[in-house]
A and B are shown apart, each in its own frame.
Chain A
């Protein structure tokens, strides 16, 4: 659960940082990275 903090960063930066671009590829990249880390911890 804690390893998923980059997703929180993504959501908060979308809400509060208007000049920070949040692209589809970035969202996908963060999701895949977090998924990989969780998978690595559980493996």
Chain B
């Protein structure tokens, strides 16, 4: 973080690298997405909300794609892998996040959905046989304590449902943790994360829209206001992903005004 902020003697000001600015945009967008979801589910259920949110993110990725994806550099095998991932990701993650946001509120859902790195560490230990260092054990203990603290006070109103309610955002984090190594495999063949996002999100959008159409025939109510709120959530999440990849790409160049 601090390597991205340096003092310019010439201008007498602190210069913040563009990577830091992009990371801040990503942080704000991810955070705002959780709060906006609260407005969306007042009008439509999370299942319909996901069918509005993910296509909105997809639209944003398609708008960015001509500038960030060179079609000639594509790999058919990687595209097929991304399409297969798209059948369940990010659709399931969106559904789990929206449902946990509705049941637990944005703060607990947000905190629990951010623990994806924990599953990456668990996978590394289980599959790759990596050993846990003492600092990692300490970090995991802190995360467990933090999660317990967020849920503690609400125990009075949640009763026995608390434990399985925690499973929803934890499952969302687990799905993201599991999918990441598979996406990395595809990125080895076609090293373009935006192309991966475009394909995964397009397939997921199709799955969610078809599912919502089938669901709507069984009487689920659709409201335009809810659709717009969830579309805003999708734009926030899409912007967060784009800004995150851009920040990672710019991470090596420290200059902001060059």
Contacts and interface: CB of A to CB of B under 8 A. Distances in A.
B30 A2 contact: yes
A7 B148 contact: no
Contacts of B30: 2, 5, 8-9
Given A5-B31, A23-B153, A37-B115, A31 B139 contact: no
A10 B32 CA distance: 10
Contact of A33 (B23, B27, B121, B150): B150
Interface size class of A (residues with CB under 8 A): 35 or more
A26 B31 contact: no
Interface centre among A3, A12, A17, A39 (most CB of B within 10 A): A12
Contacts of B142: 32-33, 35-36, 39
B153 A30 contact: no
B149 A25 contact: yes
A13 B37 CA distance: 11
A35 B146 contact: yes
Interface in A1-24: 1-13, 16-17, 20-23
Given A8-B27, A40-B118, A25 B153 contact: yes
B31 A7 contact: yes
B213 to A, nearest CB: 31
Interface centre among B20, B107, B111, B140 (most CB of A within 10 A): B107
A17 B110 contact: no
A2 B247 contact: yes
Interface residues of B, number: 46
B105 interface: yes
Interface string B70-81: 000000000000
Interface centre among B114, B133, B143 (most CB of A within 10 A): B114
A1 to B, nearest CB: 4
Contacts of A37: 114-115, 117-118, 139, 143
B127 interface: no
B122 to A, nearest CB: 11
B140 A36 contact: yes
B42 to A, nearest CB: 11
Given A5-B30, A9-B31, A33 B38 contact: no
A2 B23 contact: yes
Nearest to B23: A1
Contacts of B126: none
A36 B139 CA distance: 5
Nearest to A35: B142
Given A8-B30, A9-B32, 16 more contacts: A2-B244, A6-B111, A13-B35, A20-B106, A20-B107, A28-B146, A29-B111, A30-B146, A32-B145, A33-B114, A33-B142, A33-B150, A36-B141, A37-B114, A39-B138, A39-B139
Interface of A: 1-13, 16-17, 20-23, 25-26, 28-37, 39-41, 43
